[in-house]
Amino acid sequence: MRPAIHIVSAAFALAMLALTPPATAAEKIDPVADAKAFQKFFTDKFPKLKPEDFVTGPYSMNEDLHRQWVEKEQFPPYEFSLEMGKEMFSTPFKNGKSYADCFPNKGIGIRQNYPYFDDKEGKVITLELALNRCRETNGEPPLSYVKDEMAALTAYMAYTSRGKPFDIKIPNDPRALEAYQQGKEYFYTRRGQFNFSCATCHVQSPGERIRAEVLAPGLGILNAMPIYRSEWSGMGTTSRRFTTCNSQIRGVPLNPQDDEYRNLEYYLSYVSNGLPISGPGARP
């Protein structure tokens, strides 16, 4: 089957060199250098764009798409989810406590700090995971990671952080560096019947079309999460996006919030450090 996206192998090989390939056991893991190279690749590839423009995803790719985004933001399709999330967030649990009791600053304006590495558990904690742990700690059943309720909660929390730059920390802990590195390797590893990696679409071909979809750049791709997608006719979480991508390349999706997906989110968030939170967002 001929891929719907264009492959320019020589240019892509040079791009991959600039982005620093996944480290071998003998090489140093250097997130700071990775992030610098990752952002430079995209700003060099799209010199007319400012770094913060990339958080609008495919709508940053050309003037027509940008015009669509401006018009859509006047009557955002995610507004219903935002209102639902605000109500959910402010409604106490049966024990009288609320989400505000589980987070720093009562959960307001903290989206830019997730995911983070928990040194006690030795693993990456995403905002979605933290919300369900909050619920379970307070005697409430966990929410589906891919359904409307989780999307609504994360939409509201993202909205309270709009404009704040991603500020993801990687502590000087071998376990944190390894989690980051595993996320990076997952991003560049090919899988599925189409033999695509995440980078095939989101580094190699942003702005191009695969079927009817305009591919988003990898830089800033999580800053707008959760997103309303016309394809879904509804909202979607980061977990939903990851599992959907695996399905689209005819691979086997992992379970939402498996270590691999959390590490992937850690990597993608870190290399977008400094770019503003724009969620909730909308996509074609």
Quickly state the pLDDT bin for 136 (edges 50, 70, 90): very high
Going by C-alpha positions, the residue among 117, 225, 150 that lies closest to residue 142 is: 150
**Radius of gyration for the alpha carbons in the chain, expressed in angstroms and rounded:** 18
Q: Residue 12 pLDDT > 80, yes or no?
A: no
Name the token pair of 158.
């993202």
Instruction: Please report whether residue 20 resides in a domain.
Output: no
Instruction: Please report whether residue 148 resides in a domain.
Output: yes
Would you tell me the crossing angle of helices 148-159 and 238-248 to the nearest 10 degrees? 120
Q: Could you give the number of structural domains in the chain? A: 1
| Active site positions, annotated | 245
Going by C-alpha positions, the residue among 14, 22, 49 that lies closest to residue 219 is: 49
The domain in which residue 48 lies consists of 29-284
Give this prediction's pTM: 0.90
Instruction: Please report whether residue 268 resides in a domain.
Output: yes
Instruction: Please report whether residue 114 resides in a domain.
Output: yes
- When pLDDT is averaged across residues 101-126 and rounded to a whole number, the result is 98
Mean pLDDT of the chain: 90
- When pLDDT is averaged across residues 78-98 and rounded to a whole number, the result is 97
pLDDT in tens, 150-209: 999 999 999 999 999 999 999 999 999 999 999 999 999 999 888 999 999 999 999 888
The enclosing domain of 71 has a CATH number of 1.10.760.10
Going by C-alpha positions, the residue among 102, 56, 52, 39 that lies closest to residue 280 is: 56
Instruction: Please report whether residue 17 resides in a domain.
Output: no
Instruction: Please report whether residue 11 resides in a domain.
Output: no
pLDDT for 239 equals: 96
Instruction: Please report whether residue 180 resides in a domain.
Output: yes
| CA atoms of 229 and 143, how far apart (whole Å) | 20
Name every residue whose Cβ is closer than 8 Å to that of residue 255 and which is 6 or more positions away in sequence.
Answer: none
- When pLDDT is averaged across residues 114-141 and rounded to a whole number, the result is 98
Instruction: Please report whether residue 8 resides in a domain.
Output: no
| CA atoms of 53 and 49, how far apart (whole Å) | 6
| CA atoms of 229 and 248, how far apart (whole Å) | 15
